[in-house]
Amino acid sequence: MTGGTNYWHFAGLIIAAFAAAGCSTWSERGEIESRRVSGLLENRQGQWHLEPCNQEQELIIADAGELDTLFDRVTQPGQTAIFVDLEGTVRADWSMRVERILRMESAGRGCAAERAATEHWVAESLSRDWRMVIDRQGIEFTDEQNQATGPVAMISEQLPDGVMSFRSEQDAALELWLYPQQCFDYVNDFRHLTATLIVDGKRMNGCAYKGASPR
């Protein structure tokens, strides 16, 4: 009698273990994670594939959103792959639904120029001859002569329509405005924000994107 009881107890444990494993596997298949991924995007036989810069598992783009339209506009003749910086949801089967395209570059350095971990926002001129970085230390500005200023303390403001402004705290000599509008630079590379920089009263246009550590 005791042996029979032990047998059914053991069998019950085995069944419970398999059931738990099955439930775990089922839930993992449906797991969704919000992520930001940058890497090389390529269209193979009508399907978008994304190879991340950090050499993680290749992603299949399940819902491309604006990718097709932007790819046709930004790529050069004959180009089949391009650098992108995307936000979206990734499932356990390594498929990705794109929610926002932050950057698409055919002429930049791609993964070799990955964003710094401390950057909040990055703005560059349309011809890339000036650059401004907003980070936790304040404003850092590199002008057309490659002369660097900063970091300097700043005052920031965000308006209800999504427009953001940043200006140097002491004398307001540097002022940056970011607008939630698509932007294309002189080589037709894409950024998800339009920028206006004011330096000592002089206005200059540019593009901008969210850094790795936005506030």
Instruction: Give domain limits for the chain.
Output: 32-105, 115-210
Instruction: Please report, for residues 17, 25, 70, 92, 104, the alpha-carbon distance to residue 21 in angstroms, rounded to integers and kept in the order given.
Output: 6, 6, 43, 16, 41
Instruction: Output Rg (C-alpha) for the chain, integer angstroms.
Output: 24
Provide the mean pLDDT of the chain: 82
Q: Which residue has the higher pLDDT, 135 or 115?
A: 135
pLDDT over threshold 80, residue 36 = yes
Residue-wise pLDDT for 156-200, tens only, equals: 999 999 999 999 888 778 999 999 999 999 999 999 999 999 998
Q: In the predicted model, is pLDDT for residue 215 greater than 70?
A: no
Band (46; pLDDT cuts 50, 70, 90):
confident
Per-residue confidence at 56, pLDDT binned at 50, 70, 90?
Answer: confident
pLDDT confidence tier of residue 31, bands split at 50, 70 and 90: low
pLDDT at position 214 is 55
Residue 149: per-residue pLDDT: 84
To the question of domain 32-105 being in CATH 2.40.50, the answer is yes
Distance (Å, whole) CA 22 – CA 24:
5
pLDDT of residue 45: 85
